[in-house]
Amino acid sequence: MALQEIVEQTVSGLGYDLVEIERSAGGLLRITIDLPWEKPVEGAPVVEQFITVEDCEKVTRQLQFALEVDGVEYRRLEVSSPGIDRPLRHVADFERFVGQVIDITLKAPMGAAANGQVHANRKKFRGTLERVELADGAVGWQIVWSDAPAVKPGQRVSKKRVPPPMQVLGFALDELREARLAPIVSFKGRGQGGSTGGEEPAVGQE
């Protein structure tokens, strides 16, 4: 059985979501897990939940057994929660993090887009993720951003300065090479983003 399949079956069987599998130099096998996300009921309070050390320990124990049974070679196993640059891979991930700032990398350049302001060869973008209802009833995605320089604390902004226009780039998920939450540190958390953004517990085993 392939590594991806072993890990995915083990993690989901314990009631968690598999976020990422990484193999690093020195035989490190790092597994990132998260709590399943359900779309909140409109009007209901959003309760943030976080992966705990106990969650990581439980997954670690089960993975050690499953990997040994299938003869998967590794030197050290580490199970952790997502960091602030959590990858977005599935539709549910994009639904969950609507309104958050994300980084995307396209498989191919979009060409002249976003009101003609984007360089034809550009593939990487950062902007606020938005969900779009298309005319045929399908769901689309876009990011919105401005190239205005960030205002430093205490800096005065002239009222006469004309701000750069807001830019919009629509995309389909199959056009993305990679999408991640932008690694922006905020002591206020990520709001309704769910379990990402707090401490990052990790459990490692030789």
Asked if residue 201 and residue 129 are part of one domain, the reply reads no
pLDDT at residue 157, rounded to an integer = 65
**How confident is the model over 167-196, as a mean pLDDT?**
77
Asked if residue 96 and residue 77 are part of one domain, the reply reads no
Asked if residue 160 and residue 136 are part of one domain, the reply reads yes
Average model confidence (pLDDT) for the chain?
84
Question: SS3 for 8?
Answer: helix
Asked if residue 112 and residue 163 are part of one domain, the reply reads yes
Asked if residue 61 and residue 31 are part of one domain, the reply reads yes
Which residues make beta-bridge pairs with 105? 124, 178
In terms of pLDDT, which residue wins out, 177 or 43?
A: 177
**How confident is the model over 165-173, as a mean pLDDT?**
89
- Per-residue pLDDT of 39-87, as tens digits, reads 877 777 766 778 999 999 999 999 999 999 999 999 999 999 998 999 9
pLDDT at residue 140, rounded to an integer = 92
Interatomic CA distance for residues 131 and 129, integer angstroms = 7
pLDDT > 90 fraction of the chain, expressed in percent and rounded: 55
Interatomic CA distance for residues 187 and 190, integer angstroms = 9
Asked if residue 62 and residue 102 are part of one domain, the reply reads no
- Per-residue pLDDT of 97-125, as tens digits, reads 999 999 999 998 876 554 556 666 889 99
Asked if residue 68 and residue 117 are part of one domain, the reply reads no
Asked if residue 105 and residue 50 are part of one domain, the reply reads no
Asked if residue 102 and residue 61 are part of one domain, the reply reads no
Burial annotation 142-162 (CB, 10 A radius, 16+ → b, else e): ebebeeeeeeeeeeeeeeeee
Q: Which residue range(s) make up the domain with 36?
A: 3-84+188-205
- CA nearest neighbour of 89 among 108, 104, 78: 104
| Count of domains for the chain | 2
Asked if residue 173 and residue 97 are part of one domain, the reply reads yes
Asked if residue 115 and residue 144 are part of one domain, the reply reads yes
Residue 36 belongs to domain with CATH number: 3.30.300
Asked if residue 95 and residue 177 are part of one domain, the reply reads yes
Residues sharing a CB contact under 8 Å with residue 203, sequence separation 6 or more, in sequence order:
53, 56, 57, 60, 78, 79, 80
In terms of pLDDT, which residue wins out, 10 or 118?
A: 10
Least confident piece of the model among 2-6, 37-41, 93-97: 37-41
pTM, 2 dp: 0.77
